[in-house]
Copies of this chain bind each other. A is one copy, B any other.
Amino acid sequence: MTPEIRKRLDAFIQMKGLRHTPQRNAIVEIIFASDEHFTPDDLWEKLRGPGARTSRATLYRTLSLLTEAGLLQEIDLGDGQTTYDPNFLEKPAHNHLVCIDCGKVIEFEDDHLEVLNECVTRRLGFRPVKQSLRIEACCEEIRSKGQCPNLIQARLKGQRFPGKKR
């Protein structure tokens, strides 16, 4: 967890008159230990490791807080659950490519894309706030080799694919 993050979080907690608790700390610690996006369930799994006991309710409540604090961004991959993205202070735009074969999610940036999006938005008479591009595509690796490494892993995890909500 960068000092930048910690600062923002502390500021938010103080401003809102909130409190530091072991549960909150544990959750925040785990989230910002990595910069990968995750679902509430991913987080729940990681939380079960250490002796830190939390409830799902607290988990969800904390996610809301962090989102409100601007430390997390909610993104929708279309799989029936909300995905959260930490470490986005440096990445204003959220573009995701989801492989419909293996479910792999790639986050990418493209300056041209951003400029273009801004132009379009203004042309329509709006002021851009947040933009997310979601591309569903199929993996060339699967087309050529017949399968890709993520596919097997995804199947094992019982991962949901785009389109299939539940």
Contacts from A to B (Cβ < 8 Å): 74, 76, 78, 82, 95, 97, 99-100, 106, 108, 110, 112-113, 116-117, 120-121, 124-141, 143, 163, 165
Distance (whole angstroms) from the CB of A110 to the closest CB of chain B: 5
- A141–B125 touching, CB < 8 Å: yes
Tell me if A137 and B121 are in contact (CB < 8 A): yes
CB < 8 Å: which of B97, B99, B116 contacts A116? B116
Known: A108-B120, A163-B74. A100 touches B129 (CB 8 A): yes
* Nearest CB on B from A35, distance (A): 19
What copy number does this chain have within its complex?
2
User: Which chain B positions have C-beta within 8 A of A106?
Assistant: 124
- A113 contacts B116, CB within 8 Å? yes
In the complex, the answer to whether B126 meets A99 with C-beta atoms within 8 Å is: yes
With a cutoff of 8 Å between Cβ atoms, the chain B residues found around residue A133 in the complex are 117, 131-134
Q: Are A128 and B137 in contact (CB under 8 A)?
A: yes
List the 8 shortest-distance A-B pairs measured between CB atoms, nearest first: A126-B137, A130-B136, A131-B135, A133-B133, A129-B136, A128-B137, A76-B78, A125-B140
Q: List 6 A-B contacts (CB under 8 A).
A: A97-B124, A97-B126, A106-B124, A121-B137, A131-B134, A133-B134
**Chain B's nearest CB lies how many Å from the CB of A116?**
6
Q: In the complex, A132 Cα to B125 Cα: how many Å? A: 20
Q: Is the CB of A132 within 8 A of B129?
A: no
